[in-house]
Structure 1
Amino acid sequence: MNIQISDIGHVIQLAIAPVFLLTGVCTMLMVLTNRLARIIDRSRVLEDRLEIAAHDPYFDELDVLDRRSHLINYSITLSTTCGFLICLVIALLFVGDTTNLPLDRYVAGLFVLGMFALIGSFAYLLREIFIASTAMRARRHMRPRRMRADGS
């Protein structure tokens, strides 16, 4: 097994595209964890308010937050799965080149699975965003309107 520097350079060139994809997936994971943190913070505020006075709107909002957190958790799981699969793709590129094993079908299959996981992650994120914006519009319509100084 005589590995040339030029061979390693070629494999690194092949691995750069999946590494950029991995960077995007990590950015997606940061966005998802920030959204989850905000959901958790809001849930804690509402739970504290429930201890003071039990109001139905708080229960309704907690139900929405619960649904949103489940969707974000699914999205995080799929993004993490995508990242794991892309890491395997990069590893198999190096293993296949250094051992001369024909791993191209495995690399392609793992890449496609990673893309399906990323698509699923975006779908769950989009669903969570729709639920959040629908809940926000519903809360805005429930608020009493303030009267202006001119009485209108």
Structure 2
Amino acid sequence: MGPYLSTVADTIQTAIAPVFLLAGIGAILNVMVGRLARIVDRARGLEQLHPSSTGPEHDRHVWELRLIDRRISVINTAIFLCVSSALSTCFVVALMFVSRLFALHVGAVVAIAFVVSMLLLMTGLVYFLVEVRMSLGAIHVREELLELDRRK
């Protein structure tokens, strides 16, 4: 005996929220991958300037390259966690359909998988926030360029 159309329709209606969540995670991943691309572009630019620089400028390039290396690691972790969240959400949707089709009582497993998905997403967003905060250190204008009057 196959599933009734109304059972499938009910399951689709129930699965709408996690599917919208997947769309949101996709948008977040798009932003993260864009940031990663910009970080890599900046690293490549600095790598070209690095060999010909000397003195304080060389030290600045080394400092920024080290920061970029840490930022790449952090944003990669954020991307990994958000992709893991999306996969967990896909598992939730698939499990919802399988449980309806075969009359399995796996509500607790679905709930746990959804909580895991949310925890992964939250952790990924925290890593993203950390990377954004790290980038602020590289975009502040150096004090020596501001020529501030230190007598005040």
The TM-score, its normalising length taken from structure 2, stands at 0.91
Q: 1:74 to 1:46 in 2, by over 3 A?
A: same
User: Is 2:120 the counterpart of 1:109?
Assistant: no
Match status 1:124 vs 2:145: no
**In 2: Cα distance, 1:133 partner to 1:29 partner:** 20
SS at match of 1:3: coil
Shift of 1:103: 1.3
Unpaired segments ≥5 residues, structure 1: 147-152
User: Given the two structures, how large is their TM-score scaled by the length of structure 1?
Assistant: 0.91
Query: 1:50 corresponds to which residue?
Result: 50
TM-superposed deviation, 1:143: 4.5
Any unmatched runs of 5+ in structure 2? 148-152
Q: Secondary structure at the match of 2:104?
A: coil
Residue 95 of structure 2 corresponds to residue 92 of structure 1: yes
- Structure 1 residue 133 displacement after superposition: 1.1
| Equivalent residue letter for 1:128 | E
What letter matches 2:134 in structure 1?
Answer: I
Q: What is the aligned partner in structure 2 of residue 144 from structure 1?
A: 145
Residues 84-129 of structure 1: CA deviation (Å, up to 9, x unaligned): 0000000000000000011111110100000000000010011111
Alignment of 1:4 onto 2:12: no
Bigger Cα displacement from structure 2, 53-62 vs 16-25: 53-62
Tell me which residue corresponds to 2:150: none
Letter in 2 for 1:3: P
Superposed CA RMSD: 1.4
1:41 matched to 2:44? The reply is no
Superposed CA deviations along residues 4-41 of structure 1, whole A, max 9, x for unmatched, are 11110000000000000000001111000000000000
Q: How far 1:145 moved relative to its partner?
A: 3.4
Deviation at 1:141, TM superposition (A): 2.8
Report what 2:80 is aligned to: 77
Instruction: Please give the secondary structure, in 2, of the residue aligned with 1:144.
Output: helix
Could you report, residue by residue, the CA deviation over 1:57-86 in whole angstroms, capped at 9, with x for unpaired residues? Answer: 000000111111111001000000000000
Between the aligned residues of both structures, percent identity stands at 37
Say how many residue pairs are matched.
145
State the alpha-carbon separation in 2 of the partners of residues 61 and 74 from structure 1.
20
Matching residue of 1:149: none
